[in-house]
Amino acid sequence: MKTITLFNRMIATGTAVCAMAFASSAIAQDAQPEAPAEAPAEPAVTAEPVPVGETVAEAFAEEVSSTPVVQAIPDTALVRYWSVANATTLMGIIDSIDAEGLEPADYNPEDLRAAIANGESAQLNEIASKAFVWLVEDLRDGRTPMSSRKQWFVRDPDADLMPSHALLKRAVSNDDVVGTLASLMPMHADYGKLKKTLAATPASETKKRAMIRANMDRWRWLPRNLGKQYLLTNVPEYQLRLSVNDNIVRTYRTIVGKPGRTATPQLAENVEGVVFNPTWTVPQSIVKGEGLGAKVLNNPSWAKRAGYKATKGSNGWVSVVQQPGPTNSLGLMKLDMPNAHAIFLHDTPSRHLFKRGSRALSHGCIRTENALALAIAMSILQADMSAEEAVGISKSGKYTKVRFKQKMPVYITYFTMGTDIDGNMRSFSDIYGRDAPVLKSFSAPRVANRPRVTSEEVVEIIDDLRT
């Protein structure tokens, strides 16, 4: 019987090589990714994912509507009838689930084995359904509970797109346990590379295997499909990737938050546009707390050179805004990505800092090398702007906001082991100490009924951009 052989296949999506020639600091032409290939008609044989252009939820809706109703069981039921054949297939997957970095013991293998030996029964239905749903939750959402995901504020939509009850019904109604579970695998190739590394790592190398498992799980915390075009920055790597169909088009060095209160949180947000020649509204902690407001008001010639303008209200309130220019603390661009943390990606006039090896230097925001080239690239990709138009705006010296026609996802992640920008598997320094709670959770019993949203409070980062 084919059980795990299909489970080990790599998720394949259509990829396109995006040819983008950069002239000076600009991109000469837009990238047009090829459309992904359609999924085969029989996922039980091929275990292929739903195509990128079709949501998994739509696929389930079509499939469920065409499946004849055999028993009067509510669609939301988490216990279904299991044949011995389907339960045996499930048993085979559990026995080999360590290939996905998970523990077979988490899914009650002995109880399932005994129930299978006793034949079809209500007990088999309950035990197999529970084991299947737990596998779904861990493969789809990650095994690590929210309490162990420090500063993790990503809302993963996969549980809404692929609800457990729909997956359970699909698996047993279509006799497709393998294909249903395989459809949950992260689509990104880096997950597959970690999986291959785990398979090649001897059992005696327990610490390395534990790190691989932890970082495989981090991929499951993210949406399964990251999108056709997106930005992804790995904080410990100090790198940002601009990707089209999971192909890296361009990479940029980054400066991230210092350890402690200003450590950069992990987010999944949307970029709505690019601001060329931005202004910087100085936080009151600097205006009042450090006396910048008084300095600007009392020393107009210095303020003009530094690009600061101050206004004083009738109530004595002083506000200071740094005007666009080469000395602006945001540099020549910033990405417009509204979020509760006030985190965004931007340029910096202190570009010499990108030469450092360790670049955890900011107060939380992500400073990006060659940021103007990134701004131009995104204006081409998302605003249908020519390179000449974008370069012209950037050189105008005027504050200009370019709105995107479609929002572009940006993922701020934290992988301490994975594929670097050159395609090599390597480890990265755990600069914020976020590995320990993840590793500890893997050595503890599996947590059931886990919340999907973190209970940590949002910390609004006030970045002192002068440093």
CA neighbor of 443 nearest in space, from 435, 453, 451: 435
Cα–Cα distance measured from residue 157 to residue 88, given in angstroms and rounded to the nearest whole number: 31
The tokens for 33 are 């990714």
The Cα 177–Cα 181 span in angstroms is 6
Using CA atoms, how far residue 339 sits from 121, 154, 343, 344, 378, in Å, is: 51, 12, 7, 8, 19
Spell out the SS3 assignment of 176-201. Answer: CHHHHHHCCCCCCHHHHHHHHHHHHC
Residue-wise pLDDT for 155-181, tens only, equals 999 999 999 999 999 999 999 999 999
Contact 132, 90 (CB under 8 A): yes
Q: Alpha-carbon distance 351 to 355, whole Å?
A: 8
What pTM was estimated for this model as a whole? 0.82
Rounded Cα distance, 459 and 465, in Å: 17
CA distances from 37 to 53, 181, 427 (A): 10, 21, 33
Q: How far is CA 254 from CA 147, 187, 286, 324, 409, in A?
A: 28, 25, 24, 22, 18
Residue type, 444: A
pLDDT attached to residue 404: 97
Domains of the chain, start order: 4-222 (no CATH), 229-413 (2.40.440.10)
d(CA 420, CA 359): 16
- Give the model confidence (pLDDT) of 257-307 as tens digits: 999 989 999 999 999 999 999 999 988 878 888 899 999 999 999 999 889
pLDDT of residue 465: 53
pLDDT of residue 36: 41
What is the structure's pLDDT at 436? 98
Stretches in the chain below the pLDDT threshold 70: 1-72, 459-467
